Copies of this chain bind each other. A is one copy, B any other.
Amino acid sequence: MRLAATALAGALGLMGLGVASSTVAQSAEDIRIAEQLRDRALEGSGAFEIVEELTTRFGPRPAGSASEQASAQWGAELMTGMGFANVEIESFPLKLWERGETRVEILSPFAQPLVATALGGTISTPPGGIEAEAVIFETYQELLDQPEGSLTGKIVVVLQDTVPAQDGRGYGTSSPIRGQGPFEAASRGAVGYVLRSLGTHDHRFAHTGATRVGEGQIPAFAISPPDADQLRRAQRLSDEPIRMRLVSGAGFVADSHSQNVVAEVVGWEFPDQVIVIGGHLDSWDLGTGAIDDGAGIAITTAALKLIEDLPVQPRRTIRVVWWGSEEVSQPPPSQGLAGARFYADRRADDLEMHVAASESDFGADRIYSLALPAGAGDSDLRRAAMRVLTPLGILFDGAPATGGGPDTTPLVQAGVPAFRLNQQGMDYFDWHHTADDVLDRIDPEALDQNVAAWAAFLWLLANSDIDFRALRAAQ
């Protein structure tokens, strides 16, 4: 143990607190080690270097691309070099989707190009594109209120804004506009679909993201927020109908494969009991996937490395997964999250030994709250965790964690308890899924605070006697 960590703990005002064993049953030694992990992370967690190297070496990493495959190979070598156990690349088949050409234009009354992107999983137009009159809705509900057949031959445009929110709930509310909206428009006769980017910025970046794939699809696009404003103004300044042209060369172009990269620090007492953490390795093609989700990969891997570097092992196993193919939808019957589903399916008989799961997939900013599974709010683990996390500016979330991030969804559906280290997300959708998702968006100090929270909490959790399933059942 480095002395510097203790010195930093002193600087943080923690000296002399001791450990009140009457209120915290978790061992004083575990708390001391958790505090050391936290303070070491704050001195430089190593996470920035991981996301820096990942994004510089591989740039964008679309699911099923050669770039994603190469980055997985690199990740396995990196984690082997870190001393992790049971490093494995587990591959699964995937259709490779490519964007091709994208072009969205106003033809009349005010001819001009717009900044746009095809939605992930969308289809091609005929080579010359689709030309049609646009019907513009300020809100998604207005589209849903249209009768069947009322939009025949039209291009539907939905201009609804996404509301910035610390926990990202604005994006959650908007997501159906992108996922389901094209089908709602198509079922009413529309031939093309355009939405205002589901971002919270006002810069001229278009924001991609998966749309539903399958029968009845029509070509679907996002325009940048300023271009949404432009369409709104064009409608106000002219009584003429707005005609648009949409061009897409997108589609599923090849059979390929993606993969999860798995690595562990093995528990000394209960090696078969697993805490699963991680992030997703694939990214959209527009940026370099720094905040989505190179950061999540880096945070969880750096946290586990701090634990690996301890002279002691945790009681339970901690497994980090770099999930593949989180972003893009797949043709039916698959409904996305191919890597997460493959992980869970392969371990279907083993999921009862997954004691908890959580993914870091919300950028690179600071942690502001801890959420535990239902029933765990009044536990020794909570008291120990908040003793260690409070000096990082982290509060305990009154609401129980109902999920642990996208790639834990199949696990949670199978009954695995989830926890969450919630990240500040007010800015996340300013950059997410755009060309601007690059390393320049990451503040190394915020990243270190994030790793500090993960490392400290993971140590306490892996050494705790808490049984999340039993507490939940008792609710």
Contacts and interface: CB of A to CB of B under 8 A. Distances in A.
A226 to B, nearest CB: 4
Given A55-B230, A225-B440, A226-B440, 8 more contacts: A56-B110, A57-B110, A57-B237, A115-B435, A203-B436, A229-B438, A230-B439, A233-B439
A339 to B, nearest CB: 22
Smallest CB-CB A-B distances: 9 pairs:
A59-B112, A226-B438, A56-B233, A204-B435, A226-B440, A204-B436, A57-B110, A202-B440, A203-B436
Interface string A56-70: 111110000001000
Contact of A112 (B60, B115, B229): B60
A233 B439 CA distance: 11
A52 interface: yes
A288 interface: yes
Contacts of A205: 203-204
Given A115-B435, A287-B204, A440-B202, A52 B233 contact: yes
Nearest to A229: B440
Interface string A31-67: 0000000000000000000001101111110000001
A395 interface: no
A59 B287 contact: no
12 contacts: A55-B230, A56-B110, A56-B230, A57-B237, A59-B106, A59-B110, A202-B440, A203-B203, A226-B438, A229-B439, A230-B288, A230-B439
A202 B111 CA distance: 30
Nearest to A57: B110
Nearest to A206: B435
A237 B59 CA distance: 14
B202 A58 contact: no
A255 B23 CA distance: 84
A234 interface: yes
A149 interface: no
A164 to B, nearest CB: 16
A393 interface: no
Nearest to A110: B57
Interface string A194-205: 000000001111
